[in-house]
Amino acid sequence: MTFQEDDSVELLLAMNLKFKGQKLEMSRARKPKLKTKANNYVEGATKIFVGAIPSKVTLDEFREYFATYGPIEDICLPMKNKAKGINRGHGFVNFVYPLSAKLTVEQYKNHFLRAKWVI
């Protein structure tokens, strides 16, 4: 449950509530941790994973965007429905040079395809 007021949470936590004779165990939710894996780079790597790709992004769009970071050796954008042009929402870019992959990963907060952030 989500509450607008912290006081509501405190009141609920202080109550001794039961359901079908069993005491309900309640606790305050933890704040979600920031995911940092998206910006981890393994030295010398040339291949990166890209997730959260909008479903209608084409292979050409995908290639054109990441080619701005350097020459691409291979690129993969798996399709969910090839006839309708719907991708699976993730892909792989294998750059020729490790520096291209490193720069791409370091700038992960700035990657947008069709106005949607991709990681």
List, in sequence order, every residue forming a beta bridge with 117; answer none if it has no partner. 112
Cα 29 to Cα 70: distance, rounded to the nearest angstrom: 43
In this prediction, what percent of the chain has a pLDDT beyond 70? 87
Mean pLDDT of the chain: 87
| Domain extents in the chain | 43-117
Judge if pTM exceeds 0.75: no
Q: State residue 94 phi and psi, 5-degree precision.
A: -110, 105
Structural class in CATH, domain 43-117: alpha beta
For residue 65, with 0-12 CB atoms within 10 Å meaning exposed, 13-18 middle and 19 or more buried, which class applies?
A: middle
pLDDT at residue 38 in the model: 58
